[in-house]
């Protein structure tokens, strides 16, 4: 029966041709395999029909981090929240969307032009420069020449702050207040322009945009690797000319638990020891796609989600694993951080990632060629047989 539910993020939709879709069990949730062998997770908090026509409901868990790496945690009931954000106005503006930043720059410039236009009009007004007989008197020495009304003072304010200098308006030495105002506006104009240029430049060059070329596998898997039960996922850097320097990977298990004293911890963070395939520690070499591995042993926080009687998984306590990739952008030396998360329903039990075979080409000139990586199977997995597990300190199989 064709699946009818929609999937969030970058998950695929089941097509109407998937008439032989199979429902399989994952870690803490349900998955569907279509005719083409692709395993697709059932969306959280949804009800879907299995191949037999039965309705199946997943145990939903709210994400703390979206698949795109954005925090999904909101804060409420905090006193003086607005005041705190206005205190750190620089970061607040940087985090704002581009349209709000452009609007803020426009308002800042227009406001200063308008305020100093009013100040210039007041100076000229009290100096009687707008009196008709003074405007008609060629021997009258005004504070600013060729001023007739407020429009003239506004244009003079704009030209002064932006150092345009059309040559039509110019200040005289008759008014000390006008000289002081000219100095003050020039200084404020330089400061404002420096702030606005700095904000725009920082927003353009922020290392946060570098995360768009750092990708994670859609699903994580649990299977054996060299005789050890492992939790695994893939990560890759799509840029080849500028790699991520000093790249490190972290993973945290987010779940609820009860302490030995009976205290309920609704949000418990437990660090998972992860490393790249063959790497020591959590450092990664991202010249090509890398499989990140966490070995599930007696000390692993994941071991309590595995039943000891056979190869089944506990679904009574859904969880989330947040993955954090951090490194230095080679071209700018700025630190960037890419994040994603895997819900328990997105972890495939008894599955393994398909291999990514490198293709090496030699150049026509006879010099060293290049190695190409085909990402067709980057997200794809296939089912494997799993042995029985007996939870011992050494994890015998």
pLDDT in 10s for each residue of the chain, 397 residues: 433 333 333 333 333 333 333 333 344 444 444 333 334 343 333 333 333 333 323 345 678 888 888 888 887 777 766 677 777 777 788 888 888 889 989 999 999 999 999 999 999 888 888 888 877 788 888 888 888 889 989 999 998 888 877 777 878 888 889 899 999 999 999 999 998 888 888 888 777 778 888 999 999 998 888 888 889 999 998 887 888 888 999 999 988 888 888 888 888 888 999 988 878 888 888 888 899 999 988 888 888 877 654 455 554 568 899 999 999 888 888 888 899 999 988 888 889 999 887 776 655 555 566 778 888 889 999 998 876 655 444 443 3
Residue 34 has a CB neighbour count (10 Å cut-off) of: 19
SS3 230: strand
Of 344, 383, 268, the residue nearest 58 (C-alpha): 344
Kindly report the pTM of this predicted structure.
0.65
Burial class from Cβ neighbours inside 10 Å (0-12, 13-18, 19+) for residue 376 reads exposed
Helix, strand or coil, per DSSP, at residue 50: coil
How far apart are alpha carbons 321 and 324 in whole angstroms?
10
State the residue for tokens 């047989």.
385
Please answer whether residues 236 and 290 qualify as being in contact, where contact means their C-beta atoms are separated by less than 8 angstroms. Answer: yes
Rounded to whole angstroms, the Cα distance separating 99 from 107 reads: 12
Are the CB atoms for 322 and 344 separated by under 8 Å? no
DSSP per-residue string spanning 338-388? EEEEEEGGGEEETEEEPP--EEEE--TTSS--EEEE--TTSS-EEE-----
167 Cβ neighbours under 8 A, 6+ residues apart: none
Q: Which two tokens stand for residue 209?
A: 């945009």
> Among residues 116, 112, 90, which one has the least CA distance to residue 101?
90
To the nearest 10°, the Cα dihedral for 370, 375, 376, 381? 130
Task: Write the burial class of residue 1 (CB in 10 Å: 0-12 exposed, 13-18 middle, 19+ buried).
Answer: middle
């Amino acid at each position: 029966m064709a699946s009818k539910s929609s999937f969030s993020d970058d998950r695929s939709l089941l097509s109407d041709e998937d008439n032989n879709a199979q429902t399989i069990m994952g870690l803490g949730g349900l998955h569907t395999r279509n005719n083409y062998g692709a395993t697709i997770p059932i969306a959280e908090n949804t009800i879907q029909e299995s191949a037999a026509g039965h309705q199946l409901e997943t145990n939903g868990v709210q994400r703390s981090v979206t698949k795109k790496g954005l925090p999904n945690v909101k804060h409420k009931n905090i006193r003086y929240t607005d005041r705190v954000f206005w205190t750190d106005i620089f970061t607040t503006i940087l985090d704002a969307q581009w349209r709000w930043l452009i609007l803020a720059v426009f308002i800042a410039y227009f406001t200063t032009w308008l305020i100093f236009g009013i100040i210039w009009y007041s100076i000229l007004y009290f100096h009687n420069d707008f009196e008709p007989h003074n405007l008609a008197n060629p021997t009258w020495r005004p504070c600013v020449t060729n001023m007739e009304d407020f429009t003239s003072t506004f244009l003079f304010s704009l030209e002064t702050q932006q150092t345009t200098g059309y040559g039509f308006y110019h200040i005289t030495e008759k008014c000390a207040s006008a000289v002081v105002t000219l100095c003050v506006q020039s200084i404020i104009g330089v400061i404002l322009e420096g702030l606005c240029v700095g904000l725009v430049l920082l927003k353009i060059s922020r290392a946060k945009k570098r995360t768009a070329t750092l990708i994670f596998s859609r699903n994580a898997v649990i299977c054996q690797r060299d005789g050890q039960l492992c939790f695994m996922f893939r990560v890759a850097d799509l840029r080849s000319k500028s790699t991520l320097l000093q790249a490190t990977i972290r993973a945290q298990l987010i779940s609820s638990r009860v302490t030995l004293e009976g205290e309920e911890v609704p949000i418990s963070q437990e660090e998972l020891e992860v490393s790249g395939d063959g790497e020591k520690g959590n450092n990664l070499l991202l010249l090509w796609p890398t499989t990140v591995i966490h070995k599930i042993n007696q000390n692993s926080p994941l071991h309590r989600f595995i039943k000891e009687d056979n190869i089944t998984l506990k679904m009574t306590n859904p969880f989330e694993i947040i993955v954090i990739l951090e490194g230095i952008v080679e071209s700018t030396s700025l630190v960037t951080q890419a994040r994603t998360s895997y819900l328990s329903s997105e972890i495939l039990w008894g599955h393994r990632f398909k291999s990514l075979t490198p293709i090496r080409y030699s150049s026509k000139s006879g010099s060293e060629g290049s190695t190409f990586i085909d990402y067709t199977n980057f997200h794809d997995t296939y089912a494997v047989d799993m042995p029985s597990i007996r939870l011992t300190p050494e994890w015998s199989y």
